Amino acid sequence: MIAYFDTGAFDSLYRRDGCTAADVAALRKSIYGRGLAMALSVHHLEELVLARRVAPQALSAQIRFTLSLASLRSLLKPSADLLFDEIRAYATSGAAGSPFLHGPMADAISAGVAELVESDGEEIGEEFTGALERARRTRVKLSGAIMRARAAAAASADDPIAAATRALAESAGALADCDRRGIDGLLRLRVVRMAAGVAAAVAPPPTLEHAIAAAARAETIVSADSDLRELIDRLALEGLAARDLPAFLTTVRGAE
């Protein structure tokens, strides 16, 4: 199983808030036994590092803890890139694209994390923070696309989800090609359906970036955000469930 914890769920694990050391040990056992893999997004790192809410040593410890559960080798792209790359891949080939971050941005993040951990949080390189700032800026791009899709959904009396999907394809600059291939096919891509569902939702979740990242990779998203969990249940995305942390940990303990 592949699980995606939003930043709040990782924080709860780290602080043992609503869980115990035994729960964390069971989680590690499942990961080391390859029964469970944890997906990691660049948004986890930008939320931890750019917020700078804790002392350097505490930041280093929290990142080490996170990376003891999830690997940088399969780091997910910023969610705006995930969404638009998925739409463009469908427009071009009819298939989904790769969700993983590669190239200079991935290299800068990998090197920056190593420097931060080795210096116990005292050294945070400019290339590293620049890459994380770039990820943070994509939130504006994603938010704008979702707002346009929300307007399209609200204006549609027949099929708000399809209207939102067409608006997302237009934001990606691929509407004509997606129309030719079929909007129904585009909606079968979980990342796109998640974004369209968020756009059409009465109460969109605040964890938008994490919802989209989870749809790209995971079978379970773990979050305390009840709006997000209810939205995922309502969308009935194939192969994706939502749990809060206690329920997920109960499942992990039951699998031992």
From first to last of its 256 residues, what are the pLDDT tens digits of the chain? Answer: 999 999 999 999 999 998 999 999 999 999 999 999 999 999 999 999 998 778 999 999 999 999 999 999 999 999 999 999 999 999 998 888 899 999 999 999 999 999 999 999 999 999 999 999 999 999 999 999 999 999 999 998 889 999 999 999 999 999 999 999 999 999 999 999 999 999 988 777 788 899 999 999 999 999 999 988 988 888 888 899 999 999 999 988 877 6
Q: How far, in Å, CA of 106 to CA of 14, rounded?
A: 25
Place of tokens 């709040």: 8
Residue among 74, 115, 76, 117 nearest 99 (CA): 76
